[in-house]
Amino acid sequence: MNLYYEVRGSGPVLLIAQSGEGDAGRSADLVDQLTGEYTVVTYDRRGLSRSPAGNPEVTMADHADDVHRLLTEITDEQVHTLIAHEPVAPWLLPDDERGHHERELLDIQAIYRTDGLSAAAKEIGKVLGIDPSNQDTEADVTPQPMTQQRIDNFDFFIRNDFTAIVNDTLGPADIAALTDLRIIPVVGQTTPSGIFDYRCAQELATLVGTPLGTFPGGHNGNTTHPKAYAARVREVLS
């Protein structure tokens, strides 16, 4: 498996694992704020932009192994601190909530297949607490255009990664076994507390026994508030 990745800056290695349809360039504004203190690594997740899909059915284990191999290529360390910003992980939730949100993801896939990206994006926004028409941003942030590459990435993300999320086999025991990993669950300050991804972060905080942190913006705070988000990253990693 060959992954496209970029490395900028100097200092301790900081890997930004961009979610959704985001590739190595999606967090460019955030990376600009962090290269003075960190060696910042971004990459195209398999199936996006310049990284091939590999297996026809991508799993979350595949994505995790990709990160492991990427870090092995770049540094002699693996992950020792994870800032888990609103993880989209239904398995963290009680059974009734888990089933409800897994069905939401599968329903979005069905909407995408029948009605296209615009209709599916509206439902994704509802599930993740994002209002694209009224999204708060820092003053000098310019939204990235919806290029053909992003459209193609959304296609892979919805068709494949949604299924990978629903079929994820990770469980609480796996998290408990990560004794050498510091996990910092966080939410965006504008994400509604009843939203799916907020609840996942909340349950993860309970599982690892740590307070739930708050970061600027909402689910996409890393792209809407790069300066403030970078400052918060530096704060929690200090």
CB 41 within 8 A of CB 6: yes
> pLDDT at position 129, please?
86
Q: What's the rounded Cα separation, in Å, for the pair 97 and 127? A: 13
For residue 35, how many C-alpha atoms fall within 13 Å in the half-sphere facing its CB?
12
Q: Which residues pair with 39 in a beta bridge?
A: 9, 13
Q: What's the rounded Cα separation, in Å, for the pair 184 and 63? A: 20
What DSSP state is assigned to residue 183? E
Alpha helices in the chain (DSSP H): 28-34, 60-74, 95-115, 117-128, 148-156, 162-166, 172-176, 196-208, 221-224, 226-237
Three-class secondary structure of residue 146 per DSSP: coil
Listed in sequence order, the residues at least 6 apart from 161 whose beta carbon sits closer than 8 Å to its beta carbon are: 47, 58
For residue 233, how many C-alpha atoms fall within 13 Å in the half-sphere facing its CB?
24
Listed in sequence order, the residues at least 6 apart from 149 whose beta carbon sits closer than 8 Å to its beta carbon are: 23, 49
Beta strands 81-85; 39-43: pairing state: unpaired
Beta strands 39-43; 5-9: pairing state: antiparallel
Q: What's the rounded Cα separation, in Å, for the pair 83 and 91? A: 18
Chain-centroid distance, C-alpha 181:
18
What residues does each domain of the chain span? 5-237
- Tokens linked to 73: 């290529």
> pLDDT at position 54, please?
84
Q: What's the rounded Cα separation, in Å, for the pair 190 and 101? A: 20
Q: Which residues pair with 7 in a beta bridge?
A: 41
pTM: 0.94
Q: What's the rounded Cα separation, in Å, for the pair 190 and 27? A: 19
For residue 195, is it left (φ>0), alpha (ψ between -120 and 50) or beta? Answer: beta
Fold topology of 5-237: Rossmann fold (3.40.50)
Walk along the chain (238 residues) and give the pLDDT tens digit of each residue: 789 999 999 999 999 999 899 999 999 999 999 999 999 999 999 999 999 998 779 999 999 999 999 999 999 989 999 999 999 999 999 999 999 999 999 999 999 999 999 999 999 999 988 877 777 899 889 888 999 999 999 999 999 999 999 999 999 999 999 999 999 999 999 999 999 999 999 999 999 999 999 999 999 999 999 999 999 999 999 8
